[in-house]
Each structure stands twice: as structure tokens, then as C-alpha cells.
Amino acid sequence: MTTLSSIAARLEGLAIEVPSWAYGNSGTRFKVFATAGTPRTVEEKIADAAKVHELTGLAPAVALHIPWDKVDDFGRLKEHAAGLGIALGTVNSNTFQDDDYKFGSLTHSDPAVRRKAVDHMLECIDIMDQTGSRDLKIWLADGTNYPGQGNMRARQDWLQESLRQVYDRLGDHQRMVLEYKFFEPAFYHTDVPDWGTSYAHCLELGEKAMVCLDTGHHAPGTNIEFIVAQLLRLGKLGSFDFNSRFYADDDLIVGSADPFQLFRIMFEVVRGGGFGPDSGVALMLDQCHNLEEKIPGQIRSVLNVQEMTARALLVDTEALDTAQQAGDVLAANGIFMDAFYTDVRPGLAEWRESRGLPADPMAAYRASGYQEKINTERQGGQQAGWGA
């Protein structure tokens, strides 16, 4: 049986990017509840993200969403983040909140709208030049609601043409990650609905284009870890947007609805060479905290990823290989489940303490007084997504 101390060093390789929008107010289309202490500025979102890293050592970068996080001087924002001990990470483009995009963005039948969407992405790359970010994330709300409404085939061609213009602007050390989602906001067809479509476009574009897998973007029952294994095998898994769901794209705390699924995903990540700083796979959160407090919600999230990563690293792969080779179904499954059922929490508390981190980051946050401070200081915080 593999022990926690034997995987302690590998756990150092875990780094999770937190989303700036997780710190803003969010809700459903029925109601957005305001939460005390909500950031009023991009700088305050970054300060909250830095708090998560300070207490967990797990979240060294914060992902930005443009225009939600647009500021005049991104160089200064980078310095502000660095001063707080974190980096600016993935830049998320946004072509879903403008009237011009009603019938599509990069896939629109009107070249002028496609141009506008491409220009937005080029602006995001300019920002990346200033923030030092590696990845441009593209998720498109493009699709149609009724059969016959759009030319699905032509839209694929326009998509490739548009993506090509964005791709060609990427610097040597920059990448594009193309996120797929099977439905919503479009309900009949979506232009990038699945990993295969994203993969096909990325393959055509070149090696700097990779697939982004958002765990909430699949039909119920989809074997997500299989997709992970396949994309790693193909060398095209660029990043994750982690979250949990019960029904659709719920954006709940990762590992809350189905910790076992997160374990299975992390097992394939580790086995497929997707784990660690040099793997080229970015682990990001894409979540909203509608009811719970945002900073402890993010702390809980990164701890959940750490717990399931530790369990995945604990799988005795040698014994597993042997059982699989022997066709011993129950032994193989038993070895897998032994790791999943191992309570790694006491070991991780020790791991944290040995690195000068609080044994219990949730308790440390409550004791820090930070929440009370921001509750008093910040009045009129912003709604996630409308903070620009």
C-alpha cells in the first residue's frame, strides 16, 4: 500500500488556478443574492484569491475574464498580484454579453461580427502580453435554437477561419484553449459541443491550440475520465475548468457532488502524464458561489482537489497493473477503491504544517478576521460577470 509520506513530494506539484469571478456575487436567473464583503474592484478580487493561496499553498494564480476584469494598466495589476504572492493566469475571452453576438460570434454569418469577436480575442492576447499569462481561453455561446435556423456546416468553416486569425497572433510561449459545452445558451445545436469538435479545430490550428475540459459541460452519465485519458493520449488536453454538477452546468464546488468522479479524473490525469507544473495541463476552477461565502468556498474547493489528487496518487499502480493483466476484475477494482476510501485529511494536515501552512485552512480563515474586515470595508460589491 502506498503511503501519504511517499507521495508528499509529488503533491507539491499541485497548483490550481482560481477564477476571479468566483469572488463576485452570483446567482441563478431567478435571483442574485448579495454577499457581504464582495470585492468592488479587480484588485480586491485578486486580494481574495491571494488569501486562498496564503492559507492553502495551492492556488498560485488567478484567472481573469475580459471585460469583467478590464483595467487600464495590466502591468500594474500584475505587480499588485505579485505583491500579494500570486500570478495572473489564464485570460478568458467573452463573446457572449454583447447584442451583436445574438446569433453567434466567431461563427456568425456576418463577417463584421466575426471580425469584432476576433478583435476581442486579439485584445485578450495583448493583455496576456502584459500579464505574462500563457493561455487564452475561448468558450463560445454560439449555436442555434431551431432546426434550420443556421447553417451548421458553414459555421464550422467560419469558426476555423476565425480561430486561425486568433491563433496566428499567439506568441511563442502562448496557447489557446478551446472549451466545449454540449448545450446552453443554445438548445438545438452548439458550435463547439464536445471534445471531438474542439479537438478537430485544435488539430487543424496547430500545437499551440489545446482542448479545455469543463467538468460541468457534459451530458449526465458521460465518462469524463475517459475523455481525459483520450485527450492526454492525443497530447491535446490543455486545461480543466473544475466544478461540480447535479443537473446541468451547475458550477458548484468541485468534488462536492461526486468526489469519486473527481478522484477518477485525477487518477487519469496522473496516469496520463497530465499532473505537475511541466505537464502543460492547467487545473482551473470555474465556479460560482451563489449561497455560501466566496473565499471559504474557494478554500474548500482547492482542498477538495488536493484530497482527491492525494487519493489518486495513492493508487498502487503496480498491483493494479498485475490485477488487470491477470483479468482479476474484483482485485483490480478493490485496489482502486482502497485508494479512494483512504482518509487523507490527517496526513494532509501534517503535510501543510510541515510547510508552514495552517493545518486547517478553513479554521485559519475563520480565525483570521479577514471576512469581518472586508465586510466592513467593502460596501456595494459587484456581481460576478458584470463587474467591468
Residues that bind Mn ion (CB under 5 A): 214, 241, 249, 286
Nearer to ligand LRH, 142 or 307 (CB): 142
Report helix angle 370-377 to 361-368, nearest 10: 50
Size of the site for ligand LRH (CB under 6 A): 8
Alpha helices in the chain (DSSP H): 4-11, 42-56, 74-83, 111-131, 152-167, 195-205, 224-233, 259-271, 294-313, 317-325, 329-340, 345-353, 361-368, 370-377
Q: Which residues contact 89 (CB under 8 A, 6 or more apart)?
A: 17, 61, 62, 63, 64, 133, 134, 135, 282, 284
Of the candidates 54, 241, 293, 307, which one interacts with ligand LRH according to CB under 6 A? 241
Of the candidates 286, 287, 289, 358, which one interacts with ligand LRH according to CB under 6 A? 286
Q: Does 179 bind ligand LRH (CB under 6 A)?
A: yes
Nearer to ligand LRH, 65 or 352 (CB): 65
Residue 92: contacted member of ligand LRH, Mn ion, none (CB under 5 to 8 Å, by partner type): ligand LRH
Of the candidates 142, 249, 268, 307, which one interacts with ligand LRH according to CB under 6 A? 249
d(CA 353, CA 356): 5
Nearer to Mn ion, 44 or 286 (CB): 286
CB of 288 to Mn ion, least distance (A): 9
Of the candidates 214, 225, 268, 307, which one interacts with ligand LRH according to CB under 6 A? 214
> Minimal CA–CA distance to 37: which of 382, 288, 388, 386?
382
Nearer to ligand LRH, 225 or 241 (CB): 241
CB of 148 to ligand LRH, least distance (A): 26
Of the candidates 23, 101, 139, 336, which one interacts with ligand LRH according to CB under 6 A? 139
d(CA 121, CA 93): 6
Residue 44: contacted member of Mn ion, ligand LRH, none (CB under 5 to 8 Å, by partner type): none
Q: Footprint of ligand LRH on this chain (CB under 6 A)?
A: 92, 139, 179, 181, 214, 241, 249, 286
